[in-house]
Amino acid sequence: MPKGLKEKKEPAKGELLRELAALREKMAALEETHSSSTKELTELRHVVDAYQSVGQAYLNIDRKGMILDVNNPFLSISGHARDEVVGKNIFEFNSTENDAHLPKLVISTLARKGHWQGEMFAVRKNGDSFPVWLNVRPDKKRGGKVVTYSAIVLDITALKENQKHLEQMAHYDLLTNLPNRTLMYDRLNHTISLAKRHEYQIAVLLLDLDRFKEVNDSLGHHIGDLLLVETAARLIETVRESDTVARMGGDEFLIILPEVGSTNNAANVAQKIIEYLAKPFFLEEHEIYVSGSVGITIFPIDGDDPDLLIKHSDTAMYHAKAQGKNNYKFFTEDIN
């Protein structure tokens, strides 16, 4: 959980737990001594019931994790009825997505430190797993030893979905949903590291669409965007699942071919790309023809780092354009 969110929630939870614990202790004392009037005891129960309806999901558990009480928000997020959870161990609602040692870790940490908090997965009644932030604190002590704990359960599904969306925006092109330049560099670095370790070749292909500017200017950005999306789909069809197709920006795409085997294999992929792009694009009422120019570099022959490989593939791509477009060229020192 982001630090800011935790710090924002923590004071409210701490105050809630302290007040709730104090009320429970007072109720217990009143019931044990029978020194209180029925009216006072009833009023205290009403206050505790009010806490039961707060927005945060709450459980009261013993030292072994047995659930003694829950509030309505917990029942709401879990989908269970009260009698389906009270009397059961909190880890009966533990998801298989968690580490198998998590229950022992939580119990041992509570015994050692008196509190535990962290992210885990819980299971709803319908079997769905969902992420939660669990904060367990001492609730009631007897003879200097903790007897019960209060556990606040925050459903962080929305937070996780938002984080996933932000990660998607940071690493993927919003138009084509291909890896963007940032993720491409990460993957190319990783691929180079593996290639160095296992001593195999990588091919890096840089594609630039021929006539894209003409289409974009004459038919508008909407059709231009559709052309880029369809181009991305065709590129994915030409490569293996282990290969990477990324959008560099504009009408440029980069393809990473790990374990390419030979330059002939790289040439075959480039030729297949050119043939796929030569087929007509049917975008709304338009039938559009474009082509592609591809520059190819080979690791480690043409460079051993991402920047150099991309630079050399760019040089080769422009050489392909200068040779009439709609073709591919390998990088060589004489065209550098």
Catalytic site residues?
251
Name the region of 114 (left: φ>0; alpha: ψ -120 to 50; beta: rest).
left
298: helix, coil or strand? strand
Q: Tell me the sheet residues that pair with 210.
A: 291
Alpha-carbon radius of gyration of the chain: 31
Q: Are 317 and 205 in contact (CB under 8 A)?
A: no
Q: How far apart, in Å, are the Cα atoms of 114 and each of 4, 315, 326?
A: 24, 63, 69
d(CA 205, CA 318): 12
C-beta separation of 26 from 43 below 8 A: no
Q: 60 with 67: CB under 8 angstroms?
A: yes
CB 291 within 8 A of CB 325: yes
- Nearest in space to 120 (alpha carbons), one of 88, 151, 97, 89: 97
d(CA 116, CA 268): 57
Angle at 160 between CA 159 and CA 162, to 5 degrees: 65
